[in-house]
Every structure is written in C-alpha cells, then in structure tokens.
Structure 1
Amino acid sequence: MILRRRATVAPSADAAPSATELRDERTTLRWRLALLTFAVVAFAVGLMTFLTYLTVSRTLTAGVDHDLEQLSGVLLEQSLDPFYLTNLNAEIQQFKMYNPETRVAISPPGWSFSRGDAIPVGGDLRGHLDHTSPVYRTVGGERIMSRSDSLGTTIVLARDMSGTHQLITSLGTVLLAITALGTMLAIAAGLVVAATGLAPLKRLQRAVDYVADTDDLRPIAVQGNDEVAQLTTSFNAMLGALQESRTRQSQLVADAGHELKTPLTSMRTNIELLMLLNQPGAADRISASDRQDLERDVMAQMTELSTLIGDLVDLAREDAAEITVESVELDEVIASSLARVRRRRPDLEFDVHMIPWRLTGDQFSLGRATLNLLDNAAKWSPPGAVVRVRMIPLANDRVQLTVADSGPGIRPEDRERVFERFYRAPEARSQPGSGLGLAIVKQTLVRHGGSVWVEEAPGGGALVVAELPGHPQPAASR
C-alpha cells in the first residue's frame, strides 16, 4: 500500500499552463493566507482612513458654514433698523473689526449694488434672491455664503479656508502615515496568522508523512475540537477502515490458504496413490471397486476445490466494491436460481410464492446470492422435505425474501456467525462446503442496500430472512 501516491496528468502541447497557474503552484498555502490577511486588513485600514478624512473634512466645512449662517442671521436682523442702513459703511467696518477673517457685502432692498467687500460669488445668485435659505460656494480658496430675507436684503459673506485646508492637509498626511503603518502591521499580522493558523495542519502533515513513510496505521493524536481536529478524526477513521481492511485481507488469505490446503493435500495423496497403481505390476494390489472409489474421491476433491476457488473469486469480486448498475427483475433471478437447485436436488419439494419485483443492481451478484441461499436450504433438507420460498412486499420500496428449510436449524449463538467468512458450525463441518456461501449473500445484499438474518422456521429448521429495496412491477408491463 502506498499512501503518498500522486496522480499526474501530462499537459498537452497546446495547453500550456498560464502565468496565474504557475504562480499559484509556486505560492504556498502559508503565503496565500498571509497575503489574504494583509489584503483584508489593508483594505479595512485604507477604507477607515478615507472615511475619516472625508468625515473630518466635511465636518470642518460644515462648521464654517454654520458660523457664516449665524453671522448672516445677525446682519439680516440688524438691517431691519433704518439707522443701520444709514450708517452702513460704519456698521460694516465694525463687523469686520469683530470678525477679521470674514469679508462681507450687504445689498439693502431695492439697491442694485452692494456695500462692503467685492466678493466673487462664482455665479449668478439672483435666482436665489427670493429664497431665505443660504447658498454656499467655494471660490478661490474662500467659502462664500449668500442669503436674502423677505424684504430683499442680501448678505454675502466670505471666509478664507486656507487654515481649514491646511488642517485638512495635515490630517490627510497623518492618516496616510497611519495607513502605511497599518499596512506594515497587516503584513506582520498576516504572517503571524498564517503561521499560527497552519501550525495544526503542519502537525497533521508530519503525522500523515510518518504514516506514509513507516506504514504504521496507528491513530493520530487529536488536539482541540476545531476543524483540524475534525479532519484528524476523519483521517483516523480512514486509518481504522484501512487497518480493518488489511486485517480482513490477511485473514482472508490465511483462511483461504488453510481451506485450500486440506483438499489439495488429500487430492495429492490420492493422485500419488493412483500414479503408484499405474506402475507395472501394481494394478493387482487394489480391487476395481476401491480404485473407482479412489477416482471418485479425486473428482469430488477437485469439485470441492473448484467450488472453493469460485467462492473466493466471488468474494473478491464483492470486495472490489464495483457494482454494475442495471435494472434487475428479482423474481426472475430467483426463478433461475431455483431451476438450478431443482436439478441438483430433484428429491426435494419447493413451495414457492413470488411477486414481480424490480430493483437496480448487479444481476450476476444477486443471482449468486439467491443461488447460495437456495443451495444452503437444499443442502440441509433431507430427501422428500419441503423448502419454502416467499416474497412479501413490506412497503412500496421494500420487499422481504424468506427461505425456510427442513433441516436441524441453526443454534441461536451461531446465527450471527454463519455470515462470517469460513465460519462453519460444529455440526456443519462434516458437510461439504467452504463456509463462504452466506458470507457472499450478506455482502451482496448489504451492497444493494439490503440486510439478512437468520431465525427459526415455524415448522423447524432454519429461516433465512432477507430484505431488499426496489419497487413492485405490474405483471402487464413485463
């Protein structure tokens, strides 16, 4: 058994690997995980930095707009006083004294010009003169607000944004530095996460390599209860199944060798005796009837050996876990097996009741299994006895097949073991057979989704009960 075998497929001449495929082959899982972690963290840091910059920039601008709106409200309220408009220039100068960073232009109602600073508004604001809500623009590094009241007074305020822009620029620089630092930390975090996250996988890989190198199928120690631990548990289950298969294989070889050795030894002895009798002058040492008995023994041993080899081949075929999927008429398979058994035991009566039943499976394997069931019942039934075969539907997708013989039956303590390979009850060891027939039956039925067990027949003898899936088949469709 080679556990580290790798299947390789040679690339065709016109299907050269792409650069991406070559890069993926060179990149280890550790670096892939590190790069993925770096990409996720870097994206998160970059996104948060951008959102922070955008939020702070808009907050500072909104603060300037709020100040301008409050100042415009005060000026509009003062413009309602006639004496304020009479001394407008002085009032503007006083306003600028208290607000040196703000420029102002006031246009009283009905005026076609304004007093104060010449403020470029960046467009025609006359469309907004009938609205009391403020209008904002940014022109030439200044934040400009225009606001009118219901009487027609218009206030235009402008504030230099250079300080705010400088603050925003400084903030952007700091955030870029934070982003760079965060990216470096993301790389380090990616490497740490990759090393830490893959440490259990490395331990599992070393354990698997040890199993492959030493062929030691002992379970691997499970640490924790995470996904790697579950993977280790699954691998241990695979090792257990592999060890069980190896044990069964060794046992099969040992049992087969033992079972083959007995008829081979006996047949060799009889053949050597026949060869000795064929020598000149030795023919008179044995009677003709004894010689015929000896020849019959050789033929019987050859038949027994041939049957045993056939059973071993069938058992190996079932072990291969390859099932031919085809539609099988179970009642026809049973009828074919029954015809063969009747030819072998014409002295028995077969009481048969079958129903049309179809399932999907391997017709050859099912034929072999049903033949073994009927052969087993015929072997243990005395001449003139009755073998009862019944097919009973349990549901629309399940059928029960029972085969009852008229023999001595099977002891309760042996009813489970009769399906083991090469097992033969003490009272059965004098009978011909290899002990593989019922093992083949069980293995075949289990592979087809069925089951089989042994009970005591109502009139005495053994009752073998088998269940199989499928569905009834109307007689008209056959």
Structure 2
Amino acid sequence: MLRILRTTSFRFTIIYVVLFAGAMAALGAYLYSATFGEAAKQTDTVIDSEISVLADLFSTSGSGMLTRVIRQRVAWSDDAIYMLIGAPSGAVLAGNLTALPPEALTGEGDFFNFKFEKPLVDAAGREVGIQQREARGKMMRFRAAPDAEQSYLVVVARDVAGREFLRSRSQSVVTRAALVTIAFGVVIGLMFSRSFLRRVEVVNKTTRAIRGGDLSQRIPTTGSGDELDDLGKNLNSMLDQIERLMAGMRDVSDNIAHDLRSPLTRIRNRLNSALEGSDDDKDIALRATIDDSDKVLATFNALLSIARIRSGEGAGVMEPIDIVAIAEEMAELYEPAAQDSGFEFTFITAPTPAIKGSRELVSQAIANFLDNALKYAEGGSHIELRVEPSKAGGAILSVSDDGPGIKEEDRNRVFERFVRLEQSRTTPGSGLGLSLVSAIARAHGATLELTDGLPQKNGDSFGLRIVMIFGPPE
C-alpha cells in the first residue's frame, strides 16, 4: 500500500483532485456571491430604503404618523419586522417585535443579524406555538431636533430564515459533494496506481531477467495502444537490436577464430621455416607474410566498418544527396577497370529524386557492387549500373551482370559475414563485401534484393542483379 502511495501516478492523481476541488470551490464561491450575496445586498438596500422613508415621514409628520404607518406595514407584510420605542421611557409604541434584540444595542446605525420568536397560527388564526426565526435589521434613533431630549428608536428588519436555511443547505451539499469528490478521486487514484504499478512491475521483471543474461525476454503489451504499449514496443525494438548486435558479436568472434586462424597459423609456420632457410627463402616468406597480413588487416577493417555502421556511429550525417551524381562518379571510376577486364560497361540513369543518406556510404555500396561484378561475373561480358526512381518516390540503385549468377537458395546467405559460395573459393576476398553493403542498407532504411540479371550468351539463363531500394526522403 505504501508503495502505491509513493507512485508518480498516485501523486499526479492527488494533484489533479486538489486542483479540481479548488476549481469547484472557486466556482462555488462565485455562485454564492452571485446568488446569496446579491440577495443579502438587496435585503440591506430594502432596509435602508424603508428607514429613509420612515425618517422623512417622522421629520414631516411627527411621531404619531410614524406610529400609524408602522402599524399599517406590520399588518400588510409577512416578512417585515418593525419596532418603535419611545425613549427615555422605553415604551413600545408599535411593531411586531416583542423585545429589542441585544445585538441592536451594540450595533446602532449598523446592520446586525438576530433571532426572534414568531407565533405559529393555524388556519383559524389561533396561536399554536412559537418558532425561532432569523432576521437582519438596522436600528436608528429619530429626533425631532438635534438637541431634543425626546427620541424614538426605530428597528427595521427582514425575516431571512428561508434564505439562511437555503444557504446552509447549499453549503452542506457543496461540502459533502467536495468530500465525496476528493474521496472518489483518491479511490480512483489508488486503483489507477495499482494498475499502473502492475504494468511497471512487468517491465521491471523483464528488465531484471534481461540483466541476468536472458536476452530473449520481451516486454508484454496489452494491445491498448497507450503510451505504455508504445514504450514497450520501442523497448522491444531496442532489445531486438541489442540481441542482433550481440549475436553479431558472437558470430564475428566465431568467424574470426575460424577464418583468421588459418592465415595466422600459416604466417607463423612460414616464419618458422624462414628462420631455418636461406636469405632468398626468408625474403619470399616475408613478402608472403606481408600479403597475408594485409588480408588480415583488410578483414579486421571490414568487420570494424560493419560494426560501426550497424551501431550508427559510422553512418555519419544523413542529409539529402544526389544519388545520380554519386553513381556517375563511380561509373567514371570503374568503367576503365571493367573494360580492362573485358566487360562492356553500361551506365543508365533517369531523373531520380534526392535521398537522405551518407554520400561516403552510398559510394562504398556502389563500389562493392561493382567489385563483386568484376570478380564473380566470370565468363560474362556485360556490367550495367542503373539508377532510377521508385514508385514510392525513392530511388532504385542496381548493378547487373551476365555472369554465372547465384542460385536462389544461396541468395539470402551471401549477406552474412564470411560467407563465400563454392564458385568463389578461388577468388581473393573475405566474404564481408555484401555483409558491409547490408549494414549500409540498414543504416539508410533501404532494402536489398538479389534477382536475375542480364541474359547470358547462350540465352538460357541469367546473371545476377543486386538492387538497393531507398525510400522517399522524410
């Protein structure tokens, strides 16, 4: 229970409840001022008006007329309260108030609230009891002249028991409603916090399992589509990426141990043999060792590039680039090499929108495509580099040849690290070229496809076409 009370969701719920209660209190104060407050002001205005009328009547017609008028008004009005007292004798001359309220003695000239007794009568006019009522009034002293000894105390009031009862009931209802609202808000906060805490606990349990080494764990989602589901999906995507990277690291470690052990062993054996050989043998061994070392360094550099690109570090700044211009530069660079190797090189372009990416990485991808075509299109005579727009508003980059191609069952494998097909075993390379291209494609949000390429000379089969499809720039 204490844990629920410490949750952020419960604290926010309490804050919202307090703010809502404050808003309700402000609204209640406004409504009170606009209703009961105005009614009280109106009562005071009526009392002041009557006192003013009675004062004018006394000054013009004397006490006798004042007495008659008060008696008439007592008979006409049900909620009007009057009292006329002759001072200093203290005799009650007129009115329906049986006794002078004590509050009047200390509040002469000011408004005061008091209680009075009002007889209860039945339908026949008989008195059947006494009722305590609330009233609001004002007492003034009338003198015929400022220095006259004879004076009259005039009390004018209004019965406000009905209004005060309604006001008291309204306050009670508002208070109970506020208490119920706060209690309901606290209960809702507890329920929401408990539900929220259960979902957070699921996330904590999953993260503890992952921290313990079980990278296959994923945060379950409810399918509600709320922010916690979005958070779970994003965290699961992150965990998928981490698992892929960890698997990649394991694969790299295994592949390095397997594929680099042979050249390193060969280097060691060659150097041991050279120690016992002649100077010419040593020279040959050193040159061969340098060649093998260059291959090992190239392999390490390729692995490092793949790791950096997949982690996002080697992707650099992604900005709008002209892929046609990049392809033209690479075509100018590789066309002489293709011709020297006996290939007819063709470069085809169409108006293509800019893509968001890294100029260096896209250039490297094109270079790897063309290197593969030059290395593995043995027996072919054509290499084609093509750039064209896609239907989705992006760009399509492809390199096609009329070489031996790749079997369909092997086309997905060639993008893995250190994979070399049987027909390429005699060709220099580390099997990392297309793996590097795959990392570049993933960094750009592009897709890679291997399809049939140009038709071969016999016309019965096709070479290979490597396609990279870029999406439209965001």
Q: What is the TM-score when the length of structure 2 is the normalising length?
A: 0.62
Matched AA of 1:271: I
Q: Which secondary structure does the structure 2 equivalent of 1:219 belong to? A: coil
Q: 2:292 maps to what in 1?
A: 301
Larger deviation, residues 34-43 vs 308-317: 34-43
1:333 is aligned to 326
1:449–1:240 Cα change, 3 Å: closer
CA offsets, 1:98-149, max 9 Å, x none? 766679xxxxxxxxxxxxx9xxxxxxxxxxxxxxxxxxxxx9779xxxxxxx
Specify the code of the residue in structure 2 equivalent to 1:250: M
- Residue 37 of structure 1 aligns with which residue? 17
Q: Greater CA deviation, 260-269 or 308-317? A: 260-269
What residue is the counterpart of 2:159 in the other structure?
163
Aligned partner (choices 237, 249, 256) of residue 241 of structure 1: 237
Query: Could you give the per-residue CA deviations for residues 379-420 of structure 1, whole angstroms, max 9, x where no partner exists?
Result: 112267221222334469543332112221122223334334
Give the conservation status (yes or no) of the 8 Å contact 2:335–2:345: no
1:370 and 2:366 equivalent?
Answer: yes
> Structure 2: how far apart are the matches of 1:224 and 1:161?
69
User: Separation in 1 of the partners of 2:341 and 2:319?
Assistant: 35
CA distance in 2 between counterparts of 1:224 and 1:374 reads: 46
Aligned to 1:198: 193
Query: Residue 162 of structure 1 aligns to a residue in which SS?
Result: strand
Q: Which has the higher strand share?
A: 2
For structure 2, which runs of at least 5 residues remain unmatched after alignment? 1-5, 43-67, 82-94, 96-135, 140-155, 456-461
Identity of aligned residues (%): 21
Contact 1:30 1:195 survives alignment (8 Å): yes
The structure 1 residue matched to 2:268, chosen from 263, 267, 272, is 272
Superposed counterparts of 1:95-114, under 5 Å: none
Give the superposition deviation at 1:315: 1.1
Q: How far 1:197 moved relative to its partner?
A: 1.7
Shift of 1:241: 2.3
Q: What is the CA–CA distance in structure 2 between the aligned matches of 1:276 and 1:295, rounded to whole Å?
A: 11
Aligned to 1:462: 464
Q: Is the 8 A contact 1:42 1:186 kept in 2?
A: no
TM-score (norm 1): 0.62
Whichever residue aligns with residue 347 of structure 2, its letter is H
Q: Structure 1 residues 269 and 27 mapped into 2: Cα distance closer, same or farther (>3 Å)?
A: closer
RMSD: 4.6
Task: Determine helix, strand or coil for the equivalent of 1:467.
Answer: strand
Distance 2:263 2:467 in 1: 37
What secondary structure does 1:453 align onto? strand
| Per-residue deviation, 1:370 | 0.6
Q: SS of the counterpart of 1:201? A: helix
CA distance in 2, matches of 1:297, 1:247: 39
Partner of 1:310: 301
CA–CA distance in structure 2, aligned partners of residues 376 and 462 of structure 1 = 10
Figure out how many residues of one structure are paired with residues of the other and give that number: 368
Q: What code does the residue aligned with 1:305 have?
A: V
Aligned residue number for residue 184 of structure 1:
179
Describe the superposition over 1:230-263 as per-residue Cα deviations: whole angstroms up to 9, x where unpaired: 51x3343234323322332232222222332345
Structure 1 residues 424 and 176, CA gap change in structure 2 (3 angstroms): same
Distance 1:438 1:267, change over 3 A: closer
Distance 1:343 1:95 in 2: 122
- Partners of 2:274 and 2:407 lie apart in 1 by 48
Cα deviation, residue 213, structure 1: 4.4
C-alpha displacement of 1:327: 5.0
Q: Which residue of structure 1 lines up, in the alignment, with residue 435 of structure 2?
A: 439
Residue 323 of structure 2 aligns to which amino acid in structure 1? L
CA shift at 1:375, angstroms? 0.9
User: Are the equivalent residues in 2 in contact too, given 1:42–1:183 (CA < 8 A)?
Assistant: no
| Separation of aligned partners in 1, 2:231 and 2:73 | 84
In structure 1, what is the equivalent of residue 317 of structure 2? Answer: 324
Q: Tell which deviates more after alignment, 193-202 or 355-364.
A: 355-364
Closer, same or farther in 2 for the Cα pair 1:328/1:94, shift >3 Å?
Answer: closer
CA distance in 1, matches of 2:471, 2:245: 29
Aligned to 1:385: 381
